[in-house]
Amino acid sequence: MVFKKKRDTTQINIDFMKEEIKAYNNVLELIGNTPILKLAKITENMEGNFYAKVEAFNPGHSTKDRIALYIIEEAERKGILKPGDTIIETTSGNTGFSLAMVSIIKGYDCILAVSSKSSKDKIDMLRAMGAKVYVCPAHVTADDERSYYNVAKRLHEETKGSVYINQYFNELNIEAHYRSTGPEIWEQTNGKITHLIACSGTGGTISGTAKYLKEMNPNIKVLGVDAFGSVLKKYHETKEFDSNEIFPYRIEGLGKNLIPTATDFDLIDKFIKVTDEDSAHTAREIAKTEGLFVGYTSGAAFQATKQYAEEGEFIADSNVVIIFPDHGSRYMSKIYSDDWMSEQGFYDSVNLEQTQKIEI
Ligand code: PMP
């Protein structure tokens, strides 16, 4: 359809309209400043006040937008990244999506080495965002040449003009959260936060946020969430890497089979381990009670909160901020699939009753 050009209006009117349009210039301007949300219903029987920092409100739907933008802009400032260069990273999905998004706006190529444990949805999404994706076996040790760490390193060596983000060993990962997530939470809680609870993968989120918050108030308790099958909690307690702790688990983005330098263990007061099963059910419970469609690790973070509450660690005046790293839509073929839940043996009789199919 061809629209007729409107009768000429005066310049004054056009300028007036321009002023009225309060648009962002690109998606990168939407990163950060995510809301905190009071979790009222699901915490009804718990002592204390609980708030979720909902990172799904970032344009890439996860907390990783913050580090992607920060690390790339630091590399630009230092002259390491030039137009047309390539961004390379290992990622469980979210960091890759954020890097691909930032690369689109800034004009870089993006190559990602991804664990085969990542959901198909996530891998498809990365490709939809223009990234070149290499899927690497999940159940090999970090030093195996097929591991996504070594594949990314090799690609970096082979690709001229490439930058390896290396989020597990990049201190800018911590700095990104020190400069954004930490100050936001401090301001949003008016300095009244008493506990921070966050999942630990690279450790960037928990370490950077904790660093800022503990500088503001050293009494704030910082609790890290770890998976069974990961070495982080044991390392925190013993300062020793124990490979006997390592076995496959299902939660993506949480826990590790190596010790990342992007984790500042001294800033974390305690690690709490959660199971795949409890975390999956808790994510689904958050969706059903709070109407907040959260990712698997958000379920893990709240599961850890419940376990800590059961130990009687919160009082009526506790103001607990829990970081919810991403959005539920990334897990449709996993925790939000009844079939997947059944295949994992995660259903008890009550849940089975709820999922009875009605023939129409
Ligand atoms: N949740 C999800 C879904 C993630 O992808 C990650 C990152 N691996 C985390 C939590 C943990 O965040 P961090 O890497 O900053 O420790």
Full-prediction pTM beyond 0.80? Answer: yes
Q: Quick one: average pLDDT of 82-96?
A: 89
In a domain, 320, yes or no: yes
Same domain, 326 and 198: yes
Give the Å distances, CA to CA, from 146 to 64, 115, 142, 155. 25, 10, 9, 12
Best residue for ligand 1 mutational test, from 70, 180, 205 (most atoms within 8 Å of Cβ): 205
Of residues 351, 322, 308, 323, the one with CA closest to residue 47 = 308
Question: What pLDDT was estimated at residue 121?
Answer: 75
Question: What pLDDT was estimated at residue 142?
Answer: 78
In a domain, 18, yes or no: no
CA distance 112 to 126: 8
Question: What pLDDT was estimated at residue 160?
Answer: 87
Same domain, 152 and 205: no
Q: How confident is the model at residue 7 (pLDDT cuts 50, 70, 90)?
A: very low
Same domain, 129 and 83: yes
Q: Which of residues 164, 190, 208 is at a domain's end?
A: 164
pLDDT at position 9 over 60: no
Q: How confident is the model at residue 3 (pLDDT cuts 50, 70, 90)?
A: very low
Which tens digits make up the pLDDT trace of 207-240?
Answer: 999 999 999 999 999 999 999 999 999 999 999 9
CA 260 to centroid of ligand 1, rounded, Å: 12
254 lines ligand 1 (CB under 6 A): yes
pLDDT at position 8 over 80: no
205 lines ligand 1 (CB under 6 A): yes
CA 290 to centroid of ligand 1, rounded, Å: 22
92 lines ligand 1 (CB under 6 A): yes
pLDDT at position 187 over 60: yes
Question: What pLDDT was estimated at residue 36?
Answer: 98
pLDDT at position 355 over 60: no
Which one of the listed residues 64, 117, 122, 273 is annotated catalytic? 64
Both tokens of 205, joined, read 């989120």
Same domain, 225 and 339: yes
Of residues 346, 330, 48, the one with CA closest to residue 197 = 48
Q: Which residue has the higher pLDDT, 14 or 230?
A: 230
pLDDT at position 120 over 90: no
Which tens digits make up the pLDDT trace of 28-76?
Answer: 999 999 999 999 999 999 999 999 999 999 999 999 999 999 999 999 9
Q: Which atom of ligand 1 approaches the CA of 202 most closely?
A: 14
Longest dimension (CA), the chain: 76
Range with the poorest average pLDDT among 174-178, 245-249, 302-306: 245-249
Q: Mean pLDDT, the chain, as a whole number?
A: 91
CA distance 117 to 123: 10
Both tokens of 231, joined, read 């070495």
The total of structural domains in the chain comes to 2
Q: Which of residues 120, 135, 164 is at a domain's end?
A: 164
Question: What pLDDT was estimated at residue 14?
Answer: 54
Q: Quick one: average pLDDT of 245-263?
A: 93
pLDDT at position 351 over 80: no
294 lines ligand 1 (CB under 6 A): no
In a domain, 360, yes or no: no
Give the Å distances, CA to CA, from 99 to 45, 132, 163, 175, 220. 40, 12, 12, 17, 32
Beta carbons of 344 and 251 less than 8 angstroms apart: no
CA 80 to centroid of ligand 1, rounded, Å: 26
CATH number at residue 226: 3.40.50.1100
Same domain, 131 and 200: no
Same domain, 217 and 255: yes
Question: What pLDDT was estimated at residue 10?
Answer: 47
Q: How confident is the model at residue 161 (pLDDT cuts 50, 70, 90)?
A: confident
Whether 64 is a known active-site residue: answer: yes
E strand intervals along the chain: 36-38, 49-54, 86-91, 109-115, 132-136, 162-164, 195-199, 221-227, 270-274, 319-324
CA distance 247 to 151: 21
Question: What pLDDT was estimated at residue 6?
Answer: 47
Q: 10 Å Cβ neighbour count for 231? A: 20
pLDDT at position 122 over 60: yes
CA 360 to centroid of ligand 1, rounded, Å: 41
200 lines ligand 1 (CB under 6 A): yes
DSSP assignments along 2-30, one per residue:
PPPPPPPPPHHHHHHHHHH----SSGGGG
Dihedral of the alpha carbons of 197, 198, 199, 205, in degrees to the nearest 10? -160
Domain that holds residue 141: 63-164
